Amino acid sequence: MNDLAPVAGIHSVRSALKFGAEGVGELWLERGRRDRRLAELADLARAAGIPVKQTDRAALDQGAQGTNHQGALAWVRSAAPRLAGDLDGILDQIAGPPLLLLLDEVQDPHNLGACLRTADAAGVHAVIAPKDNAVGLTPVVCKVASGAAQTVPYLQVTNLARTMDQIKERGIWLIGTAGEAAGDLYGTDLKGPIGLVMGSEGTGLRRLTRERCDLLVRLPMAGTVESLNVSVAAGVCLFEAVRQRRTGH
């Protein structure tokens, strides 16, 4: 299993089997556990020609590395980030206005996993992040993403600011989020070709990233906290874009 990473939990394993079966090397299920959902996972694996191993809870605990496996563990080839050069190809294939998500040095794997999951649900065409000082597609990210790490193109680029310039040359408007911005998210037109730019958990957008945004907007905050978790903020912004694109206003 040296070249495989564990994906634990019934929902995450089901997603891996449904949307990335070609990358699953083996499925482990808890021996003697009576659960219809585990039987369904076994059927999915066998239909895809994936070996199914019945094993004890101790082995599952060790393989899951502290995550809740619920009696199911899939060993998958670690999802690899796409190359920066793939971006042009991705953009060339988009029929309507592109919707991108740019993450500036997001380092928490739970946040990245949640962002990928939300991006998949919102129909984001690609998630873009820097290679340095940012989390990659780790087993924890893949588990939290619940299959989205296999379905949403994730590009890690050497220079995010330069990539933003390239994106802007394609006519895509870059909109960053900042608490001090004058513009309000809900008063901003998100129907056209856009890239939403979210800052890191601690410091927000870096200076060069901020300077390359065409517009900065804030999320209206009615309470006492100053900001939202980056994955929550990404969800709010992305689904406001989805709402506008569906309703036309």
Would you say how long the chain is, in residues? 249
- Could you tell me which residues come within 8 angstroms of residue 215 by beta carbon, excluding any fewer than 6 positions away? 173, 174, 175, 176, 183, 188
How far is the CA of 38 from the CAs of 12, 31, 42, in angstroms?
12, 10, 6
Determine what percent of the chain is predicted with pLDDT higher than 90: 61
Give, as one character, the DSSP assignment of residue 136. -
Handedness of CA 101, 139, 147, 121 (dihedral sign): negative
Per-domain boundaries in the chain: 4-77, 86-247
Residues in the annotated binding site for S-adenosyl-L-methionine: 199, 219, 228
At the top level of CATH, the class of 86-247 is: alpha beta
Statement: the pTM of the whole predicted model exceeds 0.85: no
The domain 4-77 is placed in CATH, from the list 3.30.1330.30, 1.10.357.10, 1.10.20.60, 3.90.1150.10, at: 3.30.1330.30
pLDDT digit string, tens, across residues 140-183:
787 788 778 878 899 999 999 999 999 999 999 999 999 888 89
pLDDT digit string, tens, across residues 3-33:
677 888 898 888 888 877 878 899 999 999 9
pLDDT digit string, tens, across residues 22-81:
788 999 999 999 999 999 999 999 999 999 999 999 999 998 877 789 999 999 876 666
- Could you tell me which residues come within 8 angstroms of residue 202 by beta carbon, excluding any fewer than 6 positions away? none
